[in-house]
């Protein structure tokens, strides 16, 4: 089997970085373990059955942050793979990776202050949330198909502005140097971007379907659902609260694509799929309404409104990629397509010779439809077309009224010899008084097609995009100075606690823990190490007085931030495992 990196399309390589596993310190590992211990203990009973075995099968341990190469090896057993990315990547790139069966894992890990929930992508969510259900064959097929469909759904510049605002807000919230004013400004930017959205694109509706299934989905019966959504599987709070009665449970249907969501708060309602086959059925029902499957006038209008790189596909397999700027109308029907930007002509996903973006750098236009006499150019051979010439020139009149003439210099056909593109020199094209193409523009390549069967975002041929190289960057990034200084002040205590725990029954364990606890008096807000000490002492059933002191200190710390610190959940976990 080829390596995952070998399967990455060349234009997506730019998003892949290397995991610097040595950048995770003992505090990062403690954060991972604190979250995974608790979520795993709960999810054994409340998650989809694939979850428990899926963690180990996909290279994930409760005890330590995963190495992505181990995840990649585990996922390869199911035809998938994993690569590292540095935080957010564009939504369409994410979908393309997924279409190729590649999970993109943000390597950063949340800080202790954002331990219960982080708005930024982190390795807890990306790995322990998304990977464990992949071993289920129906679910991973759903993910792959979702990526294929999502990569071709039309977005808009307004969508892009919302994406940038969400990314900015998450980064500002995660940055400990951010002031309340900076967070407020980032929140306002998002609100303004959302308020500026004037229409709901295909990509936006698909994003909602992704949110209510892949991220926050439940499966089973409405009265007794199980968790499979990554956002729920990786959340200390919502992995429990989502199943409580105050969260409305709604049978999953395409109607969920009309329900927006708020990433900054727990979801007041969730959607329940009957099973993973149901997910595929809903995805198909939704996709049937997209331009990529519908074709026709409405698909052309969707592509034009999106104003992004896309592809028009005709019934004979001829494809034109570019930014559709105008659909020229003739008596109420589309007659001519005018594209902007760098364009390319393709056949069944492969760019035709000398029809790439280098040959069409300044836009492109083509008529389509049947000829005035009812004949279809797409059913003709090169010889048929040549026979229509008079006095060395080709004169064609389409049923729409578009007229094309010029000197025929080349034909390009499919494997069966049917005409797909023909090239004219000294060419003219017009519709009534409107000039569509003039001789001074050089050669005229005419795409052959009668009916538009699909319009989709992105190019027909992935090689349309320039190749990129793998980044030499690493992730996670170095911690900011304040975080490094704060954690550096206690990091030696974490290391000492781990050293002592290597021999938990040694006589010096409790003396060492007492020394650590005493030194923690200089760090009154350090709750995670106190919890680790308490967990260790409880395991070996020693020092009940020190245990009581640690528990008392933890509750006192939590009072300073009752909503932000997950101390109570940690204490409840310890009570449950006693």
| Cα dihedral 186, 105, 236, 206 sign | positive
Please state the pTM of the whole predicted model. Answer: 0.92
pLDDT in tens, the chain (578 residues): 458 999 999 999 999 999 999 999 999 999 999 999 999 999 999 999 999 999 999 999 999 999 999 999 999 999 999 999 998 899 999 999 999 999 999 999 988 777 766 667 899 999 999 999 999 999 999 999 999 999 999 999 999 898 899 888 877 877 767 888 998 999 899 989 989 999 999 999 999 999 999 999 999 999 999 999 999 999 888 888 999 999 999 999 999 999 988 777 789 999 999 999 999 999 999 999 999 999 999 999 999 999 999 999 999 999 999 999 999 999 989 999 999 999 999 999 999 999 999 999 999 999 999 999 999 999 999 999 999 999 999 999 999 999 999 999 999 999 999 999 999 999 999 999 999 999 999 999 999 999 999 999 999 999 999 999 998 899 998 887 878 888 889 999 999 999 999 999 998 999 999 999 999 999 999 999 999 999 999 999 999 999 999 999 999 999 987 767 889 999 999 999 87
CA distance to 9, 92, 100, 396, per residue, from 97 (Å): 9, 9, 5, 44
- CATH number at 4-156+199-284: 1.10.800.10
Q: Which residue has the tokens 């040595």?
A: 22
**CA–CA separation, 410 and 412 (whole Å):** 7
- φ and ψ at residue 137, rounded to 5 degrees: -65, -35
Query: Residue 420 CA to chain centroid, in angstroms?
Result: 35
Q: Which residue has the tokens 């996903």?
A: 349
Q: What is the DSSP string of 263-288?
A: TTS--SEEEEESSHHHHHHHHHHHHT
CA distance to 76, 126, 439, 550, 569, per residue, from 55 (Å): 14, 12, 64, 31, 22
CB atoms within 10 A of CB 75: 24
Per residue in 512-547, is it b (16+ CB within 10 Å) or e — as a string? bbeebbeebeeeeebbbbbbbbbbbbbeeeebeebb
């Amino acid at each position: 089997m080829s390596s995952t990196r070998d399967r990455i399309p060349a234009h997506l390589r730019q998003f892949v970085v290397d995991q610097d596993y040595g950048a995770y310190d003992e505090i990062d590992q403690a954060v991972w373990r604190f979250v995974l211990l608790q979520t795993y203990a709960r999810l054994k009973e409340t998650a989809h059955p694939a979850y428990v075995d899926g963690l180990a099968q996909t290279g994930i341990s409760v005890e330590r942050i995963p190495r992505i190469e181990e995840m990649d090896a585990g996922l390869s057993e199911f035809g998938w793979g994993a690569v590292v990315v540095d935080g957010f990547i564009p939504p369409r790139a994410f979908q393309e990776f997924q279409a190729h069966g590649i999970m993109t894992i943000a390597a950063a890990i949340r800080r202790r202050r954002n331990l219960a929930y982080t708005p930024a992508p982190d390795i807890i969510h990306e790995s322990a949330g998304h990977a464990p259900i992949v071993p289920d064959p129906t679910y991973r097929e759903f993910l792959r198909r979702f990526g294929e469909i999502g990569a071709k759904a039309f977005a808009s510049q307004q969508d892009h502005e919302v994406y940038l605002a969400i990314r900015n807000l998450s980064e500002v919230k995660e940055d400990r140097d951010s002031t309340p004013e900076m967070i407020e400004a980032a929140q306002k930017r998002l609100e303004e971007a959302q308020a500026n959205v004037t229409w709901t694109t295909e990509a936006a509706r698909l994003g909602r379907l992704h949110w209510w299934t892949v991220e926050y989905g439940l499966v089973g019966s409405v009265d007794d659902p199980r968790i499979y959504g990554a956002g729920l599987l990786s959340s200390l709070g919502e992995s429990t609260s989502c199943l409580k009665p105050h969260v409305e449970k709604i049978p999953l249907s395409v109607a969920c694509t009309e329900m927006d969501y708020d990433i900054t708060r727990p979801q007041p309602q969730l959607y329940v799929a009957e099973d993973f086959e149901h997910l595929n059925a809903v995805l198909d029902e939704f996709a049937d309404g997209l331009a990529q499957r519908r074709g026709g006038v409405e698909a052309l209008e969707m592509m034009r409104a999106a104003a992004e790189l896309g592809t028009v596909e005709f019934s004979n397999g001829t494809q034109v990629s570019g930014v559709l700027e105008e659909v020229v109308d003739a008596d109420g029907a589309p007659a001519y397509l005018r594209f902007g930007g760098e364009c390319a002509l393709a056949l069944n996903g492969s760019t035709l010779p000398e029809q790439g973006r280098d040959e069409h750098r300044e836009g492109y236009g083509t008529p389509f439809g049947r000829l005035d006499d009812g004949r279809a150019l797409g059913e003709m051979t090169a010889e048929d077309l040549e026979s229509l010439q008079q006095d060395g020139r080709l004169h064609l009149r389409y049923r729409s009224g578009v007229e094309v003439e010029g000197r025929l210099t080349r034909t390009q056909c499919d494997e069966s010899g049917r005409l797909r593109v023909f090239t004219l020199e000294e060419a003219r094209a017009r519709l009534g008084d409107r000039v569509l193409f003039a001789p001074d523009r050089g050669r005229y390549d005419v795409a052959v097609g009668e009916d538009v069967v699909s319009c989709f975002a992105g190019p027909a041929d992935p090689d349309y995009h320039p190749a990129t190289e793998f980044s030499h960057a690493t992730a996670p990034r170095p911690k900011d100075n304040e975080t490094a200084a704060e954690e550096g002040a206690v990091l030696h205590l974490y290391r000492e606690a781990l050293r002592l725990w290597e021999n938990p029954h040694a006589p010096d364990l409790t003396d060492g823990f007492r020394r650590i606890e005493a030194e923690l008096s200089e760090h009154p807000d350090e709750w995670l190490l106190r919890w680790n000490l308490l967990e260790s002492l409880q395991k070996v059933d020693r020092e009940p007085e020190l245990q009581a002191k640690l528990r008392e200190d933890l509750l006192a710390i939590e009072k300073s931030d009752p909503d932000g610190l997950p101390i109570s959940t940690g204490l409840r976990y310890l009570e449950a495992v006693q």
